[in-house]
Amino acid sequence: MTGMLLHALTIALAVTGALFFLAGTLGLLRLPDFYSRVHAATKCDTVGAGAILLALAIHVAPHPEALKILVLLLLVLLSSPTSGHALARAAHHTGLEPWRRPGERAR
């Protein structure tokens, strides 16, 4: 019974992760400017990779390998937002203006 539940949880997490990756990729392709694309790519990839890694950790659970996967998850949680921040900061200091709707005034 618990085995079934764990399996269901694994599948649900993996599917969620894949959906987030899909959303991130769509955002990367469709959003209008650099800032929004960085936001889509790094946020969705963090959650997507996180969910998939969590699913893998549950899948191999009592095995010590699960710990390694959790450490990997921690690394993704640290590195991906940091790189997103660094990219956006560099763009901001270069003087790249964020996209606005046509007709909207810069504040």
Partner 1 sequence: MKKPLVAVTLAAAAVPMLIGVAALPRPGDPTAPAHTHVAAHYIEAGARETGADNRVTAVLLNYRAFDTFGEVLVIFAALAAVIAVRSPATPGGRADDMPGPGPGLPISPVVAFIIRLTAPFIALFGAFVIFRGHVSPGGGFQGGVILGALLVLLSLVLGRGAERPLLAVPLARWLQAAAPLAFTGVGLLGLALTGALLGYPAEPERHALRELMMITLDVGIGIGGAMIILGLFLEMRGD
Sites of contact with partner 1 (CB under 8 A): 75, 78-79, 82, 85-86, 89-90, 93-94
Asked if residues 53 and 73 have their Cβ atoms less than 8 Å apart, the reply is yes
Exposure of 42 by Cβ count < 10 A (0-12 exposed, 13-18 middle, 19+ buried)? buried
Least spacing, CB of residue 94 vs partner 1, in Å:
5
Pick 25 or 36: Cβ nearer partner 1:
36
Least spacing, CB of residue 6 vs partner 1, in Å:
30
Pick 16 or 83: Cβ nearer partner 1:
83
| The pair of three-digit structure tokens given for residue 4, joined into one six-digit string | 């079934």
Buried (b) or exposed (e) across 80-96, using 16+ Cβ within 10 A? Answer: beeebeebbeebeeeee
Least spacing, CB of residue 55 vs partner 1, in Å:
24
Least spacing, CB of residue 56 vs partner 1, in Å:
20
Pick 7 or 85: Cβ nearer partner 1:
85
Pick 8 or 33: Cβ nearer partner 1:
33
